[in-house]
Amino acid sequence: MSAKLPLVIETTELKEHLNSDDVIIVDLSSPATYVQYHVPGAIYLNYEWIVRVEQPRMGLLPTEEQLNNVFGSLGITQDKHVVVYDDEGGGRACRFLWTLEIAGHNNFSILNGGIQAWSNHRNEISSKISYPTPCEFKTEMNYGTVATRQFILDHLSDKNVIILDTRSPAEYSGRKVYAQRGGHIPGAINIEWTDAMDKANEKCFKPENELRQLLESKGITPNKTIVTYCQTHHRSAHTYIMLKSLGYENIKGYPGSWSDWGNEANTPIE
């Protein structure tokens, strides 16, 4: 039953699976939001547990051991379908899904619109803290969806690889700088991550036709390899999942993103 759940799941569909034994719901909202209200049965996860920091580089991929510990503590097994959400438009939730995919677990969904959509549609909410049944999780690392700094350097002039910068225009242009150097990766196309959100509709993903139009107007087509990045691969993880939901098959995320590229002395910058 759970295998039929789509990548982007609506509140009405999740409602039907609330009591399914094969569905695990993970909440990556702020602690204050979770304690106040959440989807019944949702397990809380702190975002910091799924990213690694090596100052000044942020948002790096955790070690296999850390991933085993985190996913095992949530009770994730291969026969479970994981549904994740947050309270900030889906950035943290999407980073979780990208990481889960790398660790070898592919049965997952994001709740469209997060906790806002859930509560605004008058679904049952809970303040009862849910505790998972831990299990042993064994990562089967698949680095196919990871873009390293070296991969990007090797493909800067490759016409079949598109670098997609999902930061604000001010960060892209170098007016706002959150690293030793400002600017963007040479040739990168800028689409701010929030452009994929319907801001009048709980920050749900915009309709498919609007998203395709936005992407294709910038030359971002499914026949290319798309590398998404932001400052740490938090915002760009949202773009990664958006592309995946549209059927784009060759997508990579750049962990560390600009905190890696912009703090390196010899990387080219525009």
Name the residue range of residue 47's domain. 2-141
The two beta strands, 81-85 and 57-60, are unpaired
Q: Which of 120, 141, 162 is the last residue of a domain?
A: 141
94, 135, 204, 230: the catalytic one is 230
Burial class (CB in 10 A: 0-12, 13-18, 19+), 183: buried
97 and 193 share a domain?
A: no
135 and 162 share a domain?
A: no
The answer to whether residue 230 is catalytic is: yes
131 and 148 share a domain?
A: no
Q: Which of 122, 141, 160 is the last residue of a domain?
A: 141
125 and 238 share a domain?
A: no
pLDDT per position as a tens digit, 61-107 = 999 999 999 999 999 999 999 999 999 999 999 999 999 999 999 99
Q: Please tell me the total count of domains within the chain.
A: 2
7 and 55 share a domain?
A: yes
Per-residue model confidence (pLDDT) at position 4? 81
- What is the mean pLDDT of each successive set of 10 residues along the chain, which is 270 residues long? 80 95 97 97 98 98 98 96 97 98 97 98 96 96 97 98 98 98 98 97 97 98 98 98 98 98 97
Q: Which of 141, 160, 195 is the last residue of a domain?
A: 141
- The two tokens of residue 37 are 């209200």
Quick one: which of 224, 104, 102, 228 has its CA closest to 163?
A: 228
